[in-house]
Homo-oligomer: A and B are copies of this chain.
Amino acid sequence: MANNKRGQQSFVLPQLPVITAWASVAGKKESEGPLKDYFDITSQDTLFGQKTWELAEKQLQKLALDTLLNKAGISRHQIGLAFSGDLLNQCIGSSFSMRNTGIPHLGLYGACSTMAESLLLAAMTVSGGFSDNVVAMTSSHFASSERQYRFPLGYGGQRTPTAQWTVTGSGAALVCSAGVGPRIESCTVGAITDLGIKDANNMGAAMAPAAWSTIRTHFSDLHIGPEDFDLIVTGDLGQLGKDLLLELAQKEGVSLGGKLADCGTLIFDQTRQDVHAGGSGCGCSAVTLCGYLLDRLKSGELNKILFCGTGALLSPTSTQQGLPIPGVCHAVCIRGGRD
C-alpha cells in the first residue's frame, strides 16, 4: 500500500471501494444538452416545486439521495455516513436536504471540487473499514448561484465571454465495501494554489494551475502518466481553463491532448446553448460523473478514468476586497467494473 507517509499527496486504497449506485438530477437547460439521456430525473420547473431557489437546490439533493437509495435498493438506515456540500453560503443546500434523515453527515466545502472531495472521503471511509455504505453528494443551482455570487436574475446583467454557466443539478454516488460496479483505486488530495488571478468571471484560469498541480502529482506519486487512462476529466474548467491546462502540461513536456475532457465542456452544446465558456458549479462534475461517466465505466466503454474535481475558492466578499482567487483540485482514479 502506497500512502502519503513520505509527504505524498496520493493514496492507493488498500481495499478497493465499489461505486455500486449513482444518481443524477438536472434542470431544464441541462436536459436540452448533450448528456440529457444520462440523467435520472430532469425537471422543466426550475424551482423544483419549491418556493425559493435555495429550497429548490435542497430539493435537488433530496431527489438525488432518494433516487440513489432506490436504485441501490437500500434504506437510509443502512447508510453509515454521508459527505456533502454545496456553493451556497453555509452550505444550506446540503444541510437542509439531510435534516431529519437520520443519516450521519459530515459537511464539506470544496467549492466545485466537492464531488471529488466527497468521493475520496467516502472511499477512505470505506477502505479504512469505518463503514460499508457511504454517500458522496453535491449540487448547484444556476439561480441560487447567480443571486449569491453575481447579480439578481431580474437585473439582466450582461455576461462576459469568459463567464461560465452554473449547472442546475445534483449528483450522488454510493460507495460500498462490497458489490458490483466501478472501483476507486487511488486519489490525490490537492493543495490550494493562488497565482494571483483576480477575475471572478474567469474561474477556469484560476483553477487550471491547481488542476495541473494535482494531475502532475498524481502521475509522479504513482509513477504513471496520461497513457494509463482512457480519460482524464476535469470538473468545470470550461473551454478557456481546459486550453490553459493543456498548455501548462505541454510546457512541462506532458501531452494531455487526446485524453483530456472537461465536464464544463461536455454538459452543454457550446454552439447551440448560450453558455459562453461552458458549465460550472458543484453540480457540473457531479451530474456528469453520476450519469455519463459512471454509466460508461459500467458498460466497459471506459476502463480507467482520472476524475479531477476543480474548485475556485473565492467568495463575493473576497472578490469585493480585491483578493485573488485560490484554486484547488482533487483527483480520484476510477476503474470500470468489468475487469
* Residues on A facing B (Cβ under 8 Å): 1, 3-5, 7-9, 11, 14, 51-52, 54-55, 77-81, 85, 87-92, 94-96, 98-111, 117, 121, 124-125, 127-132, 148, 188-194, 313-318, 321, 323, 326, 328, 330
Once bound together, how far apart are the Cα atoms of A139 and B97, in whole Å? 26
Bound Cα distance A4, B77 (Å) = 11
Copy count, this protein chain? 2
B residues less than 8 Å from A127 (CB atoms): 128
- Once A52-B321, A129-B1 are accepted as A-B contacts, the answer to whether A107 and B108 lie under 8 Å apart by CB is yes
Given contacts A88-B315, A314-B90, contact A3 B131 (CB under 8 A): yes
Bound together, the chains give a CA A98 to CA B110 distance in angstroms of: 13
CB of A29 to closest CB in B, whole Å: 23
**Besides the known contacts A3-B130, A92-B318, A121-B121, 16 further A-B residue pairs in the complex with CB atoms under 8 A apart:** A7-B78, A11-B130, A14-B129, A52-B321, A54-B318, A55-B321, A55-B323, A95-B326, A100-B194, A104-B189, A104-B190, A106-B110, A106-B121, A107-B109, A108-B108, A109-B109
Kindly list chain B residues whose C-beta atoms are within 8 Å of the C-beta of A9. Answer: 80, 104
Q: How far is the CB of A320 from chain B (nearest CB, A)?
A: 10
User: What's the Cα separation between A312 and B175 when bound, in Å?
Assistant: 28
Q: Is the CB of A192 within 8 A of B105?
A: yes
> Do A7 and B77 have beta carbons less than 8 Å apart?
yes
22 contacting pairs across A/B (C-beta < 8 A): A3-B129, A3-B130, A4-B131, A5-B80, A9-B104, A14-B129, A55-B321, A89-B315, A90-B318, A92-B314, A98-B192, A99-B192, A100-B192, A105-B191, A106-B121, A106-B330, A107-B108, A107-B110, A107-B117, A108-B109, A128-B130, A148-B317
Determine if A191 and B3 form an interchain contact, defined as CB atoms under 8 angstroms apart: no
* Alpha-carbon separation in the docked complex, A133 to B240 (Å): 37
Quick one: closest B residue to A324, CB to CB?
B99
- The smallest C-beta distance from A232 to any residue of chain B, in angstroms, reads 19
Chain B residue at minimum C-beta to C-beta distance from A311: B107
A96 contacts B128, C-beta separation under 8 Å = no
